[in-house]
Amino acid sequence: MKIRDVMSTPVVALLSYASIRDVARHMEYNGVGCVVLSDARRLVGIVTDRDLAVRALAQGVDGDLPVSQVMTPDPVTVGQDDDLDVAFEVFRRHAFRRLPVLHEEAVVGMLTLDDLLLHVHQVTADLLRPVAREIGEP
């Protein structure tokens, strides 16, 4: 299975010079925990709700400063046509929960640990359904 089959869309994307406060407002309005940041041409960073709490709020950073002050630059990404095994391996190697998904250089989705857990749950349920039917029959 490919990453494009499991990823979440759409992605909230802002320019990297947006203020920290504006990014937080976009997260709240869109009900998301992260925003990808661009320079209008390419992905330059990602910021999560945890970044805002730990790198901005806890440090007393002015909310009117550009989010580039607290973003993670050059985030690890995966391709939409990569196999899910690639994503599992990336998540195993790194301590984060979200991966921007690219097609060429454009961000087309976000793959989260939650997306993968839901997928694994669905696959497990699909595998167990015939067994449950067999057990349930007299």
Partner residues linked to 79 by β-bridges: 102
Tokens representing 49? 């709700």
- The DSSP bridge pattern shows strands 34-38 and 13-15 to be parallel
Cα 73 to its chain centre, rounded Å, is 15
- Read off the DSSP letter of residue 11: P
Structural domains of the chain in order of their starting residue, each with its CATH number: 3-136 (3.10.580.10)
User: Over 70: is that where the pLDDT of 81 sits?
Assistant: yes
Asked whether the beta carbons of 81 and 4 are under 8 A apart, the reply is yes
How many alpha carbons lie under 13 Å from residue 70 in its C-beta half-sphere?
Answer: 29
User: Over 80: is that where the pLDDT of 138 sits?
Assistant: no
Helix axes 84-93, 113-136, angle to 10 degrees: 120
Entry field: residues in the chain: 138
Task: Give CA–CA dist 12/28, Å, rounded.
Answer: 11
Mean pLDDT, all residues of the chain: 92
- Convert the pLDDT of each residue in 24-57 to its tens digit: 999 999 999 999 999 878 999 999 999 999 999 9
Which pTM value belongs to this model? 0.85
Q: Which helix (H) or strand (E) holds 127?
A: helix 113-136
